[in-house]
Amino acid sequence: MQLADIKLAIIGLGYVGLPLAVEFGKKRTVVGFDINQNRIDQLKAGHDSTLETEPEELQAATQLAFSTDLQDLRACNCFIVTVPTPIDQHKRPDLTPLIKASETVGKVLKAGDIVIYESTVYPGCTEEDCVPVLEKFSGLTFNQDFFCGYSPERINPGDKQHRVTTIKKVTSGSTPAIADLVDALYNQIITAGTHKASSIQVAEAAKVIENTQRDVNIALINELALIFNKMGIDTEAVLQAAGSKWNFLPFRPGLVGGHCIGVDPYYLTHKAESIGYHPQIILAGRRLNDSMGAYVVTQLVKAMTKRRMPVQGARILLMGLTFKENCPDLRNTRVVDIVKELADYNAQTDVYDPWANTADAQHEYGITPVQNPVAGAYDAIIIAVAHHQFKAMGAAAIRALGKPDHVLYDLKYLLPKSDSDLRL
């Protein structure tokens, strides 16, 4: 197959798949496929609920067609799979979406076709878990009748500066010739260039350690924050001082959620344990980061108790629910840990987030965000997400939501130290 012969399909049109489909759709014919009919209807109407793609960008992708119909994939010969790879309640990799997507592709796979995976997985997953499914449902033989590639996604939700085309792309293929073809395909849209890995497993490993490294670094800073809080030292002041050195890494303490940093390390540790190695640093970092919600609530309860404020029955405002600022992404948000901990104290928690979709919050977490917090109603306020709307409010407007003797806990260093009562 030559580059000009590729008839492309993108399987999965979420935060990763849609921007990719749009960029390719500006240059070549693309079928954007998703099993969610509502999602397809929205996109056909020119609206992206993830807010990653603007209406004018959708309009510019003149060669992109959206579909839920398997028959529309039969004319394609190159499939890019961009479905989620979450973890289950036991923090084990949940490959269900990936396997289902592989089954779908397998049903339309033909001799000479290429399947490229972008979903974050552990090293070996593409060839050990996905390829057998493709073979089973197609009746074809890997690297004889069809081929595979792996090019890990590097989408950063809510980031309007680092987009799919401006982030260097790692590529790989199951044979040298396929690796060259996959690399050439992505180079059609990636202005930042590509890095062709020596194998699919190298590319898989490169992706999973990117976020594992960030997770471990944040865990270190979170632990330092716990230590400095016990010593009565301002963590942010320490980090600013240390940051005056050119090679100090600028991480900040906080909740670690989202579809990547809070999930990807478990894919690597799962694979490590399957080959007989028990990771120590990675899992220790995960445990510490997963405990931060409980720590925040403990600190808040101590502050309220010192002021002789009853916690049971207290009304608390939690500002922010999404996993990061200025985007509607609720996946694996650790703000819910704070909600659960406060519920154990029988406190009444209102969640306010102008970015969060109410229906999604109800469906995923059973939380109904308030639309307009009542002024002067809250015993405590927690700034959990640094949305620009909260920053624009300023300390006075945020404090106006609390009772005269409320506690303001600023998790995100959104306000000057003098304007809050507690910080991490």
3-state helix, strand, coil in the chain (%, to 5): 45, 15, 40
Is residue 96 within 8 A of residue 28, CB to CB? The reply is no
Neighbour count for residue 312 (Cβ, 10 Å):
8
Look up tokens 């940051």; give the residue: 243
Query: Is 148 annotated as catalytic?
Result: no
User: Would you say the C-alpha torsion 239, 243, 247, 253 has a positive or negative sign?
Assistant: positive
Query: Quick one: which of 3, 15, 154, 6 has its CA closest to 84?
Result: 15
β-partners of residue 328 are none
- Token pair recorded at residue 385: 């997400």
- Pairwise CA distance, residues 322 & 370, whole Å: 14
Which member of 78, 130, 148, 260 is catalytic? 260
Q: What is the DSSP letter of 130?
A: I
Task: Judge residue 174's burial from the number of C-beta atoms within 10 Å of its C-beta, 0-12 exposed, 13-18 middle, 19 or more buried.
Answer: buried
Residue 380 CA to residue 358 CA, distance in Å, equals 23
Q: What single string gives the DSSP state of each residue in 220-263?
A: HHHHHHHHHHHHT--HHHHHHHHTTSTT------S---TTTTTT
Find, among 303, 320, 285, 324, the residue nearest to 406 by Cα.
303
What is the phi/psi pair of residue 386, to 5°? -90, 55
> What is d(CA 257, CA 335) in angstroms, rounded to the nearest whole number?
8
Question: Which residues are marked as active site?
Answer: 260
